[in-house]
Structure 1
Amino acid sequence: MKVKCRDLNTGLYFWTIIGPDQTVMVFERDIDWDFIRAGRQTQKWLHDSWLAKHL
């Protein structure tokens, strides 16, 4: 299950992915979302594809 939330004070998003065994698989915070581009503005430093591209 994926849960997305928005901090109304900052306008930034955070989300988590919960696995079938009810453990947290991913948690990301302080994500700036660009609705025009339909993509994030913040770096995807938790993702292997981002790490491979930037290391």
Structure 2
Amino acid sequence: MIVEALDVHTALAIADINLRKGSAELWDGERRLGRLIKHGGGHATFWELGLN
């Protein structure tokens, strides 16, 4: 799924709401800014910054 957002803060909120688990990549045009990996279950989830 590709979702466009106005800024990084909004992109993180969208990913947090829509991803139950797994990873998300942040892009600025053709440049990859980073990869985030979501951990946890229904409560107390957290994000790990993956290798770029």
TM-score after normalising by structure 1: 0.36
Greater RCO structure (CA 8 Å; 6+ sep): 2
Structure with more helix by fraction: 2
TM-score after normalising by structure 2: 0.37
